Amino acid sequence: AGRLVLGVRVTPLSGGHVLALIDDRSQLRRVEETRRDFVVNVSHELKTPVAGLSLLAEAVVDASDDPDAVRRFAGRMGTETARLNQLVQEIVELSRLQVAETLDAPERVDVRACALDAVEHLRLVADDRNISITTDDDGSPAEVFGDANLVTTAIRNLVENAVNYSADDTRVTVTVKGSADLVTVAVKDQGSGIPAAELDRVFERFYRVDAARSRRTGGTGLGLAIVKHVCANHGGEVTVWSEEGHGSTFTIRLPAAQPQNPTPGEPAEPV
């Protein structure tokens, strides 16, 4: 990876001359490698729940005389199916984001409203474990151009992780701030933290620090890859700060929508 790959095409011309065209194929090769890795990963990740379902189906047949066992196996089939469904949805979402480098029809998005939506979505799960989610909001305008559903999904993935990788009775803080150029959303937790050596890798597709823990909380390993692509498609970025055993802060930074320049590409009005 990262090696320069040159392609050479030689065309004979009249008079004994040749035309040699040299092009850089390293970019193309990288895209192909990424796509191949993705397909390998996806098939591997899909195989586990499918194998589980097929074993459970056999168990149901074998236990047909025992209604309690049938009920138990059927319940587990329901859980596995829900997990498979989420995995497929996230794979489709991520593939779409990877293919589209820009957004189709960007609109003015109120990031504060997206953050509140995302927090509401996690409220019940957090309450259940006595994890308080507070929003710290200075009321500054926080609008970007983009897709409100995607921005909400990105923030929700971060809040979901903050809750999933935290112990009971802790606090998650979501801070939204807007400035003239930038909208920032920071999601801070007091959870397990991430070892320094793995910080760079958590945004990779299917990368998990602790696969067993991720699976227990219904994780797919795609959440942060989706966040990264949503940020890139909005012209922004996501970064992480973390201290093992103390907690993590994930920060999304997106370019702010300019009041005098409502659609991207349109010249700004003179001031």
User: Which residue lies nearer to ligand ADP by CB, 98 or 192?
Assistant: 192
Q: Give the C-alpha separation, 209 to 189, whole Å.
A: 17
Q: Give the C-alpha separation, 155 to 161, whole Å.
A: 10
Q: Which two tokens stand for residue 58?
A: 């056999």
Q: Give the C-alpha separation, 167 to 241, whole Å.
A: 18
- The piece of 26-34, 118-126, 159-167, 231-239 that touches ligand ADP (CB under 6 A) is 159-167
156 binds ligand ADP (CB under 6 A): no
Site string for ligand ADP, 114-153 (x = CB under 6 A): ----------------------------------------
- Indicate which single residue of 56, 150, 224, 254 sits in contact with ligand ADP (rule: CB under 6 A): 224
Whether the CB-CB separation of 205 and 222 falls below 8 Å is answered with yes
* DSSP letter for each residue of 105-123: S-EEEEHHHHHHHHHHHHH
Q: In this structure, is the dihedral angle defined by the CA atoms of residues 200, 201, 202 and 208, taken in order, positive or negative? A: negative
- Indicate which single residue of 49, 106, 146, 219 sits in contact with ligand ADP (rule: CB under 6 A): 219
- The piece of 116-124, 175-183, 217-225, 258-266 that touches ligand ADP (CB under 6 A) is 217-225
- Indicate which single residue of 56, 214, 233, 236 sits in contact with ligand ADP (rule: CB under 6 A): 214
Q: Give the C-alpha separation, 111 to 141, whole Å.
A: 9
248 binds ligand ADP (CB under 6 A): yes
Q: Which residues bind ligand ADP (CB under 6 A)?
A: 157, 161-162, 165, 189, 191-194, 202, 207-210, 214, 219-225, 248
